[in-house]
Amino acid sequence: MSLIQEPLPSEYLGLSQDEMDRRIRQNKSRLGSKLVILGHHYQRDDVICYADYRGDSLKLSQLAARERQAEYIVFCGVHFMAETADVLTSPQQKVILPDLMAGCSMADMAELAQVEECWDSLEAEYGKEIIPVTYVNSTADIKAFCGRHRGMTCTSSNAGRIFARLLQEDRIILFLPDEHLGRNTGLEYGVKPEEMLLWDPEAQDRELPVQPPRLVLWNGFCSVHQKFTPDQIDQIRKKNAGIKVLVHPECSSAVVSKADLAGSTEFIIRTVSESPAGSSWAVGTELNLVNRLAKENPDKQVLCLNETMCLCVTMNRIDRPHLLWALDNLAAGRVGNQIKIDPATAGEARLALDRMLEISS
Ligand code: 13P
Ligand code: SF4
């Protein structure tokens, strides 16, 4: 969900990098333990450097759930992550997103009314237990839907563990909103392609198969990871003998099955960091992270699988001027851009998040 961001006051537009750096650090030390800055790995270098903690979606959810001291949690990431942090923190804590336009196109691909319609159709058709699982890259409404239907959230770090548990029983998993993470995880845990049903909420005259599916996949996708292709893998292997291809499971199953390895953001970081000096990697994920991995591993070759189009533009909306503006507000006792979920939705979303955190702890 992207909201409207008020334009920054003009004084923020002409500041030098040094001036912004000095003032951000000054605000951080003024606010002291009242402030925690969380940063997702896809953030720009000139922003992630201020994060007290950095992580992937799972790690940041765990950190938000543990954080009890700070009054202000400034989230350098996207809207659904700030929503998750608000749900997991106490009512006295305030979660701030420095730019309200930092949304996630995938999270916006599943709307509550559409998901309810899908649920009703599946129940009417199959009369079987359905368990909804949503990737954390979803709105608080969708997490709440999963919470009230005995379902849970997952991240790319723990989707496998959650599938392994849920597939033990005879029921239908409704996976939202990322088709690819759902398909890749399903395939890994033994669901056959013919046991999956792709749900297009816009489809007219839908005909459901007679045989109940084991896995229903919502047809959402990440605009960044969807752009990696099997052909890029062939090309990069041709040009770089011995290179290993490592991709995120938001990529299509054609890409994941062709790659040498696939896994979450934390898995990608760990795999490259722990690989021997001299090894070569083509990484299929967000460009800020790949560039940082290359910088932090100068003894290895780290290339982006496709350098021309894999920057997450919404993650990149969080920049120094917006961070400084948010911190200036807090230092002056004003809370701007607070992300607040209504208590009823937050309560149900929390059920879904807690079920995930319990499985991942
Ligand atoms: P993870 O942080 O779960 O790897 O997800 C990547 C992502 O797309 C975040 O928006
Ligand atoms: Fe959303 Fe993809 Fe950007 Fe992650 S990388 S925030 S899933 S658009």
Does the Cβ of 337 fall within 6 Å of ligand 1?
A: no
- Ligand 2 probe mutation, 139, 248, 314, most atoms within 8 A of CB: 314
Query: Is the four-CA dihedral 250, 254, 257, 259 of positive or negative sign?
Result: negative
Model pLDDT, residue 205: 85
Model pLDDT, residue 179: 98
Of ligand 1's atoms, which has the minimum distance to the CA of residue 136?
3
Does the Cβ of 56 fall within 6 Å of ligand 1?
A: yes
Tokens standing for residue 56: 């992937």
Neighbouring CB atoms inside 10 A of 93's CB total 18
CATH class of 225-304: alpha beta
Order across the sheet with 72-76: list the strands. 53-55, 35-40, 72-76, 94-96
CATH of 10-103+314-340, one of 3.40.50.10800, 3.40.50.12500, 3.30.365.10, 3.30.70.360: 3.40.50.10800
Model pLDDT, residue 219: 97
Model pLDDT, residue 360: 81
CATH of 107-223, one of 3.10.20.30, 3.40.50.10800, 3.30.413.10, 3.40.50.720: 3.40.50.10800
Tokens standing for residue 268: 């990608």
Between CA 283 and CA 130 the distance in angstroms is 35
- Ligand 2 probe mutation, 44, 224, 251, most atoms within 8 A of CB: 224
Model pLDDT, residue 2: 55
Tell me, yes or no, if the two domains 107-223 and 225-304 fold the same way.
yes
Residue ranges, the chain, pLDDT below 70: 1-2
Question: Residue 347 class from Cβ within 10 Å (0-12 exposed, 13-18 middle, 19+ buried)?
Answer: middle
Q: Which ligand is nearest to the CA of 61?
A: 1
Model pLDDT, residue 310: 83
Question: What residue segments make up the domains of the chain, in order of their start?
Answer: 10-103+314-340, 107-223, 225-304
Q: Which ligand is nearest to the CA of 2?
A: 2
